[in-house]
Structure 1
Amino acid sequence: MLRLGRSSKIVLGVIVGIVLVFMYVPLALVVLNAFNSSRIASFPVTEFSLRWWEVAAVSEPIRAAVLNSVIVGLGATVIALILGTLSAFALSRFRFYGKQTVNLLIVLPIALPGVVTGVAFSNTFNSILEPAGIQIGYFGMIVAHATFCIVMVFNNVFARLRRMNPNLQEASMDLGAGIGQTFRLVTFPQFRTAFAAGGLLAFALSFDEVVVTIFTAPPGVDTLPLWILNTMARPNEGNLVNVVATVLILLSLIPVYISQRLSRAEEDE
């Protein structure tokens, strides 16, 4: 077992402390300014108020942006769960020509800069589909998000399938169970935690995506990241953004907690 000396522990402790300060002090400033009565974010806060929380609660643009983000995130997640899982099964269970190429093509979208993906989809929608009379609109944004969300599901499910024992499925079918029954009772329970974790990651990635959304969002449609980006250009509403950001910080604790529970459940299996 590696043992660290006293000086090494002190140095590591200082480094960890500095990293934590850089990570969490900005978040603390966001939360503090969410209760700032001033129009402009500042520190220290001279007067606390719920003024901006009341404005946010009745803001129709914020509600519309949240709804759009949820719809796009759920749509992209559903597509990612289906295609990512099917791709993981195909690449983990079968051998075929070009298997490595297919694997590369599946994971490539997450490696590409968002601006490249956004420009590619924008050119496709505006230069090919629209001249052909196909108005893809809102669904195009969901498809664009799904391309990189698929990777989240694929990586989680593929890694889990690689560790599974295929003899269990074969034994189930030898005992008379059909393909559907075997999948429902034997196969799916073994990778459901990876399936759920991949879905959570896909939704989170889609929910806060901004670069691809800029290029693919239909005119007049704002997701929450786009609303924040546009509102930040108006300094007099900066603390309204801090209110929304504070709510997102609190809500982000939910998927983090669920992911930890799923990871622990997978380790105990």
Structure 2
Amino acid sequence: MENIETLLSATNVYIDESGHTDDPSSNTMVLGALWISVPQLSLFTDAIRTVKKKHNIASHREIKWTKVSPAKLDYYKELVDVFFAVEQVNYRAVVIDKSIIDYETYNKTRDDFYYSMTYILVRTIAEKRYGDMRLFLDYKDAWSGIRTTKLAGYLNNTSSLNSKSLSAQPVRSHEVVGLQLSDILTGAVMYANKPQEEQKSDAKKELIAHIEQRSGQKLTCGTPYSSEKINILKWKPKR
């Protein structure tokens, strides 16, 4: 059972997305968040650094789902093993079928929908922790700062979030290992939910199988609310 210090400590949440609403190449959108209690952060980053050193990977080399290949498969499996080995490092994803989004009925723009889905992503994390929450999102363009400011305001105005305060800021993913691991797990969830005929990389399919074996959870299925290490919601609109 988690102690009071853990429940009250600050939590870093590293948010990644795949298949945004404006992306016509996929019918699926995934919002993913790797979240970690701040006291565990140095242990986590040190473990990642050790894996990189073992595989002769430069410490500054970015970890990305798109770089998963047969030659690097063992390296990426060991990175995933770090995620499972370090306590208080967890992952949550919201998987969305874009074909069932009805913007007109709910009077939402694409940005409104993104904020609503990010709230759903973060809410379950916030309900399990009582300390401050710090959200870190991948810096994509000049609008990233404005977008994250609006997101923080939206979430802070939501009364059901337990955290004492919530901040959000864009960061460069190549500088933040938490965001890079979030990219790996979000990429895996996205890939697993693609049609079989689009899953052409054996290395990526093997890494997905490794994640599923370690977690005991299929990445194509939702999990109970209580699941923490891997928590997946298959979103459906309210009727």
Q: Do these two structures clear the TM 0.5 threshold for a shared fold by scoring above it?
A: no
Q: In terms of Rg, which structure is larger?
A: 1
Structure having the higher helix fraction is 1
TM-score (norm. length: structure 2): 0.25
Structure having the higher strand fraction is 2
